[in-house]
Homo-oligomer: A and B are copies of this chain.
Amino acid sequence: MSGGAREPGRSVTSKVLAILGAFDAARPQLTLTELAARSGVPLSTAHRLVGELEEWQALSRSPDGRLRVGPRLWELGQLAPNRLQELAHPWLQDLFGSTGENVHLAVRDGLEVLYVDKVYGRRAVPIVSRIGGRLPMHPTGVGKALLAYEPDWFVKSYLARKLERPTPHTITEPGRLARELAVVRTQGYALTYEEMTPGSCSAAAPVLVDGRPVAALGIVLSSRRARELPRLVEPLRAAATGIARAYGG
């Protein structure tokens, strides 16, 4: 009943949301034609809706005229409550302060990790994680730290798919991954070596509340410095425990 006369069955709201949902980290800027195609909204309708969205600053234009998410949506998005990030942030900041290394916090969302916070400085190695960004679980330290504490049925169905292989070091063989997850559970943290990004290695610890992995805290180094990772594990785990206590309490 909420559809317009021209396209019964699809509401205007769903078209507006399809237009907004057409943007993602891989496609942060789109031409109107791309936007119409990705959202499945007819070009003339997309043109009209984009005009309204631009006027409200939900969308804006890049210098080359392509469309992108606008400042008003950023501001609005900042109102979304995120108790985990708020509680965890000072721990990330302290861990960065005591180690000088990139640290980030991620949660599982579906079959991916979603980065909810990140602390980095001027001298740290550039890393691929981005606040609000997503990555697959098995090649990332935070992903492994989360996956290791998921129930068996979840891990089995995760491993049953064809797994992405972003680098030649990525472990995609299900048996080997399952054994590695068992090691993560035993030792309480995960390590990666160039499995997501050539040149980077990482350590990550789960944030466990009542045994449930609510998040994972990771630290990323240049892989030239991989042998320094072990000494970072204890401060990393201490911070993850601190976050778990703050969040669960």
Contacts and interface: CB of A to CB of B under 8 A. Distances in A.
Interface of A: 2, 4, 11-14, 16-17, 20-21, 23-25, 28, 48-49, 52-53, 56, 58, 60, 62, 68-71, 73-82, 89-91, 93-94, 96-97, 114, 119-122, 130-133
Contacts of A4: 4, 12
B73 A77 contact: yes
A58 B90 contact: no
20 contacts: A2-B52, A13-B16, A17-B52, A17-B58, A23-B79, A62-B81, A69-B79, A69-B81, A70-B80, A73-B73, A74-B80, A77-B78, A78-B131, A78-B132, A90-B121, A93-B96, A93-B121, A93-B122, A94-B121, A94-B122
B48 A2 contact: yes
Contacts of A82: 74
A75 B114 contact: yes
For A24, A80, A119, A131, the residue with the greatest tally of chain B CB atoms inside 10 Å of its CB is A80
A68 B79 CA distance: 8
A48 to B, nearest CB: 6
A79 B24 contact: yes
Contacts of A79: 23-25, 28, 68-69, 132
A76 B23 contact: yes
A119 B58 CA distance: 26
Contacts of A130: 78
Given A14-B52, A52-B11, A81-B28, A20 B120 contact: no
